[in-house]
Amino acid sequence: MERLGGRIALVTGASRGIGRGIARRLALEGAAVAVNFRSDQEGAELVVREITEAGGTAISAQGDVAVAEDVSRLVDTVTKQLGGLHILVNNAGVASDMLTVRLSEAEWDRVLDTDLKGAFLTTKVALRPMMRQRYGRIINIASVVAFTGNAGQSSYAAAKAGLVGLTKSVAREVATRGITANVVAPGLIDTAMTESLSEEIRTWMLDQVPMERAGSVEDVAAAVAFLASVEASYITGHVLKVDGGMVMV
């Protein structure tokens, strides 16, 4: 069922991992998708090929979400090439895992600039066409560490917690314009990043999950597709955890 037929989506950081899965799922649901990347052009073009070969519509769109000029160019490219913008998924993110006492100011800034400021910049620009058309879906990809914290991830947890606050504020500001803003907060998800975890750390994390298994990229993508659809038109300012019960708050 093409719940998103006629919609145009921009997914940031979509050349791999969760972003790739989200782009593919939105296209499967009928949306035309802009696959954003900062430096992984090959990965982004692969995602575009996967979508188009399956009968969907997609373009690759380069831009660093932490740079305001890039964001303006990125949204302009999407609206001109695809004809508008209805769905924004702020997925681009980086991490710098180390204890706070060892974390440099430069690394703190790098994480906050991409994970939080990037979402602010992209949302700000994307809201312009959304407000004109009185329709939009903003979906920000956070993490359960926004609620629990995690040793060695103070910058990442701070950025993701800030993303929750940003989303709720935006949701209140644009609720009367037909625009919703929500958060999807994944827990332990099988990606290339989590595959690099040591067996000890992975076992410890799985012990926190009542379902006793990691989630998949498709689990996260399905949640995003729902929030992007008309079926979620009365849901805004919400945090949807996709974590197998890891964090029940």
pLDDT of residue 1: 55
Angle at 90 between CA 215 and CA 132, to 5 degrees: 135
Please state which of the ranges 99-108, 119-128, 199-208 shows the lowest mean pLDDT.
199-208
List the one residue out of 131, 227, 118 whose CA is nearest residue 175: 131
pLDDT of residue 60: 98
> Which residues are catalytically annotated?
156
- Domain residues of the chain, as ranges? 8-242
Taking only the tens place, the pLDDT of each residue in 32-87 is 999 999 999 999 999 999 999 999 999 999 999 999 999 999 999 999 999 999 99
User: Which pLDDT band holds residue 3 (cuts at 50, 70, 90)?
Assistant: very high
DSSP 36-103: EESS-HHHHHHHHHHHHHTT--EEEEE--TTSHHHHHHHHHHHHHHHS---EEEE-------S-GGG-
pLDDT of residue 106: 97
pLDDT of residue 199: 82
Taking only the tens place, the pLDDT of each residue in 128-152 is 999 999 999 999 999 999 999 989 9
Which CATH number does the domain 8-242 belong to among 3.40.718.10, 3.40.50.720, 3.30.465.10, 3.40.50.2300? 3.40.50.720
Taking only the tens place, the pLDDT of each residue in 85-103 is 999 999 999 999 899 999 9
Taking only the tens place, the pLDDT of each residue in 175-193 is 999 999 999 999 999 987 7
Distance CA 239, CA 182 (A): 6
List the one residue out of 48, 28, 13 whose CA is nearest residue 228: 28
Q: What is the dihedral of CA 47, 118, 227, 232, to 10 degrees?
A: -150
Taking only the tens place, the pLDDT of each residue in 11-32 is 999 999 999 999 999 999 999 9
Identity of the amino acid at 55? G
CA 35 to chain centre: 12
> What is the rounded average pLDDT of the residues 151-180?
97
pLDDT of residue 31: 98
